[in-house]
């Protein structure tokens, strides 16, 4: 497997990022190739503060390393350190039909809400396609929200290959059924930009407070409730083992419990689950030079591969 995935430094990582994407990164490292990057070029469409973008980028690297990303088994780098990708993006841009991009939800949703969208957001799927194709990746671990963009990537690759001859490897999304779309504190998709996140490295006390405020329905306490489809139960299931999940589901169906009990159990589980990475984070935090070295070494390896693929693509379409 040739694995690649990226994550935006648009804020601190949350449970959705971890269970949907980062956990897969860690499981898949050590495959034939595993490239993971911090997508600062994508983040630039939303983070318009230079100091903040720099901070989020470093935090993202420290978070990933603390969660178990191993630079000896995977290549970790920052997107903008590989300029070959931006050049490849242009090659793909010239063959990207407007209609395909107009249908993409990141842009469509923003427009539907009447929010101003820029060309960076509109062409996001093309840069994402370049990100993937530049490393001959065949497997892209992501959450469900990214599957549409990977379809666009496949269409762009197929169209380029059709015009100019076999150039790009066809990638496939890899989505985990159990955590394809982790809900936020409001029941919508947990997202850095929706203000509904529970963060992986948040102060435990502050997190407990947020958990206690997770929205629930106004079901009287004695009434039984179906756990499937309940976002609090879904969040609990991320951390619990099979027996614990079963016991919680039975309690829901029996009724006679308060949501406060579930929230407390959830907060306990989450605290236990992330205790180790939290401790490890302090070590990396006190050694930012080491983190920068890891990123620089990763970028050098990533550039080598992206340079080869770019050369292949430029030759195919007549630029060289
Ligand atoms: P933003 O709001 O800035 O888009 P985000 O929270 O959606 O941030 P991204 O950096 O866009 O995070 O996504 C990183 C990875 O995390 C992607 O693979 C994405 O599919 C996954 N992901 C994000 N949110 C969730 C979620 N709620 N459940 C499962 N996976 C998710
Ligand atoms: Mg997102």
Residue 311: both structure tokens together: 């050369």
Active-site residue 110, yes or no?
yes
CA of residue 123 to ligand 2 center, whole Å: 15
Q: What is the pLDDT of residues 143-198, one digit of tens each?
A: 999 999 999 999 999 999 999 999 999 999 999 999 999 999 999 999 998 899 99
256: left (phi over 0), alpha (psi -120 to 50) or beta: left
Rounded to the nearest angstrom, the distance between the alpha carbon of 43 and the centre of ligand 2 is 10
228-237: list long-range contacts, CB under 8 Å, 24+ apart: 231/183, 231/187, 232/259, 232/262, 232/263, 232/266, 233/262, 234/182, 234/183, 235/15, 235/182, 235/183, 235/198, 235/266, 236/262, 236/265, 236/266, 236/269, 237/178
Calculate how far, in angstroms, residue 99's C-alpha sits from the geometric centre of ligand 1.
Answer: 24
Q: Is 2 helix (H, G, I), strand (E, B) or coil?
A: strand
Q: Ligand 1, residue 144: give the atom nearest the CA.
A: 20
Q: pLDDT value at position 260?
A: 95
Determine the residue of 23, 145, 153 to mutate for testing ligand 1's pocket, defined as the one with the most ligand atoms within 8 A of the Cβ atom: 145
Distance 266 CA to ligand 1 centre (A): 21
pLDDT in tens, 208-224: 999 999 999 888 888 99
* 280 CA to centre of ligand 1 in angstroms: 23
- The pTM of the full predicted model, rounded to 2 decimals, is 0.96
Give the rounded percent of residues in the chain with a pLDDT score beyond 90: 95
Contact 221, 260 (CB under 8 A): no
Measured from the Cβ of residue 114, the count of other Cβ atoms closer than 10 Å reads 6
Pocket test for ligand 1, best of 13, 16, 35 (most atoms within 8 A of CB): 16
Reply yes or no on whether 174 is catalytic. Answer: no
Q: What is the mean pLDDT of the chain?
A: 96
Catalytic residue among 110, 111, 301, 314: 110
Write out pLDDT tens, residues 235-293: 999 999 999 999 999 999 999 999 999 999 999 999 999 999 999 999 999 999 999 99
The share of the chain scoring above pLDDT 70, in percent, equals 100
Query: Would you call 192 a catalytic residue per the annotation?
Result: yes
Q: Ligand 1 site: residues with CB under 6 angstroms?
A: 7-8, 10, 16-17, 20-21, 142-143, 145-146, 179, 181-182, 189-193
Spacing, Cα 146 to ligand 1 middle (Å)? 8
The predicted model gives 40-65 an average pLDDT of: 97
Q: Which residue in 108, 189, 210, 225 is the catalytic one?
A: 189
The pick from 36, 150, 191 for probing ligand 1's pocket by mutation, whose C-beta has the most ligand atoms within 8 angstroms, reads 191
- Smallest CA separation from ligand 1 atom 13, residue: 7
């Amino acid at each position: 497997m040739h694995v690649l995935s990226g994550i935006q430094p648009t804020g601190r990582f949350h449970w959705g990022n971890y269970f949907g994407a980062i956990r897969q990164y860690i499981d898949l490292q050590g495959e034939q190739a595993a490239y993971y990057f911090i997508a600062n070029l994508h983040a630039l469409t939303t983070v318009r503060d230079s100091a903040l973008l720099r901070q989020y980028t470093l935090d993202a690297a420290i978070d990933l390393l603390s969660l178990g990303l191993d630079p000896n088994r995977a290549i970790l780098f920052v997107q903008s350190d590989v300029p070959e990708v931006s050049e490849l993006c242009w090659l793909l841009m010239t063959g990207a039909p407007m209609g395909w991009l107009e249908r993409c939800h990141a842009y469509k949703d923003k427009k539907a809400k009447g929010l101003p969208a820029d060309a960076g957001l509109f062409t996001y799927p093309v840069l994402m396609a370049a990100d993937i194709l530049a490393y001959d990746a065949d497997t892209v671990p992501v959450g469900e929200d990214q599957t549409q963009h990977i379809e666009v990537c496949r269409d762009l690759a197929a169209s380029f290959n059709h015009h100019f001859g076999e150039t790009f490897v066809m990638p496939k999304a890899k989505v985990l059924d159990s955590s394809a779309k982790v809900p936020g504190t409001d029941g919508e998709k947990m997202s850095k930009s929706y203000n509904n996140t529970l963060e992986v490295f948040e102060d435990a006390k502050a997190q407990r407070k947020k958990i206690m405020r997770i929205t629930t329905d106004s079901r009287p306490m004695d009434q039984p409730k179906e756990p499937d489809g309940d976002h609090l139960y879904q969040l609990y299931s991320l951390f619990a083992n099979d027996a614990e999940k079963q016991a919680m589901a039975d309690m829901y169906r029996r009724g006679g419990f308060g949501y406060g009990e579930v929230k407390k159990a959830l907060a306990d589980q989450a605290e236990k689950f992330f205790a180790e990475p939290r401790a490890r984070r302090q070590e990396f935090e006190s050694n930012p030079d080491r983190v920068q070295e890891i990123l620089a070494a990763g970028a050098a390896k990533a550039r080598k591969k992206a340079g080869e693929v770019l050369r292949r693509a430029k030759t195919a379409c007549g630029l060289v």
